[in-house]
Amino acid sequence: MHELVTLSHNLPETARAPLTGVTGNGPRIFIQTYGCQMNVSDSQTIESMLGEAGYRFCDSPDSADVVLVNTCMIRETAEVRALGQLANLSSLKKQNPSMVIGILGCVAQAKRKEVLESHPYVDLVVGPDSYRRLPILLEERFISPPGTPGLLETTLLREELYDDILPRHHGGVTAFVTIIRGCDKFCSFCVVPRTRGRERSRPLPSILREVEHLVAQGVRDVMLLGQNVDSYRWEDRDFADCLLAVADIAGVSRVRYMTSHPSDISEKLLRTMGDHEKICPYLHLPVQSGNNRVLKEMNRPYTRERYSEIIELARRIMPDLALSTDVIVGFPTESDDEFMDTFRLMEEVRYDTAFMFKYSERPLTKAAARLVDDVPEDVKVERLQRLITLQQSIARERNEAQLGKQTSVLIEGAAPKDRNMWAGRTPDFRPVVLPMNGESVGDLVQVQLAALSGFTFHGARLS
């Protein structure tokens, strides 16, 4: 079952589009990226390092000398998909035994030895803090005699921020910029703190340098990334200061971010968002559950009441705010009544978008160690379906309520279904198409939201 309703900036666990381009004369490399925006951003950092080392990028594993699979293991389905791709590569390697296959990312970090044992044709297993070693590891691998066991590099390094590397931008007006790595929250269901290590913030000057570099390449819309951006600290600057500094860069039209945590989000941040036109009125605030006992079991240190207060304050400061969330159903011991608390919270809050997941037991987590995954699969599926149905109708109603509104659209490119129309987004991230009229990609156009088909608006240009 598809677990996402109303596709938004939160990219699902699907493979990213491969990179095409030539930056050197060396071996051809193909990088396949699974998972969240952090993985996409990491792959761009790797591309930058390997491009400098002379690698050429290709758009298919068939023509590659090196294939790297950047993996996600947030849920079992994500892990299975990434390992399935590795298995597909084994037949390519049979045809081309000199091909180097590497596994990167969270599965590499958490399942290092198991991966090498179960996939003996894998040449490299490299965790998220060891990408700097990739050029050397690849060189070493190229000269290793056939049959040499795969190389393993999975040390978690508290100081690694890759902040001196400008990730390779793939074009377009939107870019991700990582500002904080790792996570110290240890939600009981989540494997991320085990695979990405301790939380550390990137120095503000290096973030600003990267954004300026992106603006010079045509980027207008910057999404600041971190597992918990509200924890950002550099010297005496907090996340609101960082957001503001990025918004102040000439050429930046919009700044967005994800993800916030309800325990750490501050009134200062909400007021900063409300005060600045360039900071998008969009807040992704994962609630996970609407029941206080379940939240406690999840090690989410806020209550449903506190969460609702934050939403109320945010909407008071920004009446036009679009809200999204993440929700897990079927967490161990969740009863029908407790699930209904989540259902009712979603009815009350009325999110614009929600990312809803069935609980998936993950190795190395507290929930896996202490609790039995006791909610039957059919009950999880039913709860998920109920939430999806509810959220679809709320999202539709919230979109319909936008009709007639005057707003700006940032033009991202030609609409895929009609090359005579532009496709873009409103500041609260709703997709809009509008007729071309001499504008360019990256321009901001004032429109009235005139009609809606599915989840896409038709914009009528305002003079």
| Residues contributing to the site for ligand SF4 (CB under 6 A) | 183, 185-187, 190, 192-193, 227-228, 261
User: From the list ligand SAM, ligand SF4, none, which binds 359 (C-beta under 5 to 8 Å, kind-based)?
Assistant: ligand SAM
What DSSP element (H or E) covers 37?
Answer: helix 37-52
Cα–Cα nearest to 220, from 425, 455, 453, 360? 425
Give the orientation angle of helix 134-143 with respect to helix 37-52, to 10 degrees.
Answer: 60
| Closest distance to ligand SAM from the beta carbon of 367 (Å) | 7
User: From the list ligand SAM, ligand SF4, none, which binds 186 (C-beta under 5 to 8 Å, kind-based)?
Assistant: ligand SF4
User: From the list ligand SAM, ligand SF4, none, which binds 193 (C-beta under 5 to 8 Å, kind-based)?
Assistant: ligand SF4
Determine the Cα–Cα distance for residues 251 and 265; give it in Å rounded to an integer.
Answer: 27
- Looking at the Cβ atoms of 152 and 258, the one nearer to ligand SF4 is 258
User: From the list ligand SAM, ligand SF4, none, which binds 360 (C-beta under 5 to 8 Å, kind-based)?
Assistant: ligand SAM
Determine the Cα–Cα distance for residues 168 and 327; give it in Å rounded to an integer.
Answer: 32
Determine the Cα–Cα distance for residues 292 and 269; give it in Å rounded to an integer.
Answer: 25
- Looking at the Cβ atoms of 82 and 328, the one nearer to ligand SF4 is 328
- Looking at the Cβ atoms of 190 and 294, the one nearer to ligand SF4 is 190
> Do 219 and 408 form a contact (C-beta atoms < 8 A)?
no
Binding residues vs ligand SAM (CB under 6 A)? 36, 74-75, 189-190, 227-228, 259, 261, 286, 288, 326, 328, 357, 359-360, 362
Cα–Cα nearest to 213, from 239, 238, 262, 249? 249
| Closest distance to ligand SAM from the beta carbon of 288 (Å) | 6
User: From the list ligand SAM, ligand SF4, none, which binds 109 (C-beta under 5 to 8 Å, kind-based)?
Assistant: none
What DSSP element (H or E) covers 181?
Answer: strand 180-181
User: From the list ligand SF4, ligand SAM, none, which binds 142 (C-beta under 5 to 8 Å, kind-based)?
Assistant: none
| Closest distance to ligand SAM from the beta carbon of 87 (Å) | 23
| Closest distance to ligand SAM from the beta carbon of 259 (Å) | 4
> Which residues contact residue 231 at a Cβ distance below 8 angstroms, ignoring those fewer than 6 apart?
180, 184, 199, 201, 239, 261, 264
- Looking at the Cβ atoms of 127 and 442, the one nearer to ligand SAM is 127
| Closest distance to ligand SAM from the beta carbon of 193 (Å) | 10
> Do 64 and 30 form a contact (C-beta atoms < 8 A)?
yes
Cα–Cα nearest to 412, from 261, 221, 246, 278? 221
